[in-house]
């Protein structure tokens, strides 16, 4: 724990965030006796490393050195539910890491994922903060610890973005919408960047074992990968906005111990035709599904960039706190490969 706070102190964002968390916990202690609430706090840590044939070196990241996930890191996941004896009416979620960056500065980076408050209104939930935009499979995909890539890692959407959103869940039908900053994890807005997104989901994966989604997105966004923004203007140095217009379809299916997922987007990016599709299948084995084997292909094309990657992954739960993961990725365009390993620790603490 002492080392964890030493790492946080290396960045101004870390110091600011620790101060904010102290305020949150103090307020929680004051409010706790006045109303029913549930607190969940998880600590996490991960070691990530492997080999990349494209640079013929050992790497300490799973996807790209600019991408936030996955890197050696320590962090926490905090969820607080507010309510009374009859119902819950609010939720606060904060998910934070300090990650080691092998080829970027600062060496120890502050990473804020979830940082939103959700209010339950009659017939509608609304949220404000850093959350997932309402577009595609990524909006419902729990990818915080996994090694497999998704659309957000191909510059087609954002895993997290700052803004507001609303959702109405009718069990068999879920409607979601969001209006966000269009800059990803970093707050940056100087030229009116924005992203409007909406998704209609049919079916409940947890109850009926399937979900089919239809999405649309429109905006002027920044090219972002994690906290790194790209494509600055050569003269001014300001980051260039790009038009984004997509329609998409995604789906998830569970049959016995087999999972099937797909995600697809079609439209324009950089004012040029763009398209992407991801197919993923997995099988859960052993008692309590301790072993998961997955295979995935993901294709993307925009402007002059065209990529096709095949990936194989395995995850084995050593116990309730530790998970061991491995992934192999082959890039058919560059004819290069990566082999990545991860030891992931995630443990609940009582509050």
Per-residue pLDDT, 59? 95
Per-residue pLDDT, 30? 42
Average of per-residue pLDDT values in the chain: 87
Q: For CA atoms 196, 200, 205, 206, give the dihedral sign.
A: positive
Distance between CA atoms of 33 and 35, rounded to whole angstroms? 6
What fold, for 2-349? Porin (2.40.160)
Instruction: Please state the domain extents for the chain.
Output: 2-349
Q: Any idea of the CA torsion for 305, 140, 142, 162, to the nearest 10 degrees? A: 70
Q: What is the pLDDT of residues 330-350, one digit of tens each?
A: 999 989 999 999 999 999 986
Q: What is the pLDDT of residues 101-130, one digit of tens each?
A: 988 788 999 999 999 999 999 889 999 999
Main-chain dihedrals φ then ψ at residue 200, nearest 5 degrees: -115, 120
Q: What is the pLDDT of residues 193-236, one digit of tens each?
A: 999 999 999 999 989 999 999 999 999 998 888 777 877 776 77
Per-residue pLDDT, 130? 95
Rounded to two decimals, the pTM is 0.84
Per the model's pLDDT, the better-predicted residue between 64 and 15 turns out to be: 64
Q: Any idea of the CA torsion for 109, 97, 276, 252, to the nearest 10 degrees? A: 180
Q: Which two tokens stand for residue 53?
A: 């044939």
Per-residue pLDDT, 210? 96
């Amino acid at each position: 724990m002492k080392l964890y706070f030493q790492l946080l102190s290396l960045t101004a964002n870390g110091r600011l965030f620790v101060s904010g968390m102290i305020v949150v916990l103090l307020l929680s202690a004051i409010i706790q006796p006045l109303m029913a609430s549930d607190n969940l706090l998880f600590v996490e840590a991960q070691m990530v490393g492997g080999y990349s044939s494209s640079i013929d070196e050992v790497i300490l990241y799973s996807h790209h050195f600019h991408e936030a996930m996955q890197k050696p890191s320590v962090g926490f996941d905090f969820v607080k539910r507010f309510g009374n004896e009859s119902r819950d009416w609010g939720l606060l979620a904060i998910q934070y890491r300090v990650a080691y960056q092998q080829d970027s500065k600062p060496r120890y980076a502050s990473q804020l994922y979830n940082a939103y408050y959700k209010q339950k209104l009659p017939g509608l939930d609304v949220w404000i903060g850093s959350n997932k935009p309402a577009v595609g499979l990524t909006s419902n995909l729990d990818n915080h610890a996994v090694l497999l890539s998704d659309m957000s890692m191909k510059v087609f959407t954002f895993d997290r973005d700052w803004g507001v959103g609303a959702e109405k869940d009718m069990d068999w039908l879920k409607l979601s919408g969001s209006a966000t900053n269009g800059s990803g994890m970093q707050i940056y807005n100087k030229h009116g960047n924005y992203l409007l997104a909406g998704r209609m989901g049919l079916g409940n994966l947890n109850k009926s074992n399937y979900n089919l989604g239809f999405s649309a997105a429109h905006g002027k966004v920044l090219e972002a990968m994690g906290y790194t923004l790209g494509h600055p203007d050569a003269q001014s140095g300001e980051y260039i906005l790009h038009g984004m217009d997509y329609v998409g379809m995604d789906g998830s299916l569970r049959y016995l111990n087999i999972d099937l997922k797909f995600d697809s987007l079609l439209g324009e990016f950089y004012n040029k035709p763009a398209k992407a599709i991801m197919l993923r299948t997995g099988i859960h084995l052993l008692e309590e599904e301790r072993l998961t084997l997955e295979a995935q292909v993901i294709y993307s094309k925009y402007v002059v960039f065209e990529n096709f990657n095949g990936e194989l992954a395995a995850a084995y739960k050593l116990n309730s706190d530790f998970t061991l993961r491995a992934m192999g990725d082959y890039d058919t365009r560059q004819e290069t490969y990566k082999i990545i390993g991860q030891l992931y620790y995630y443990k609940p603490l009582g509050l």
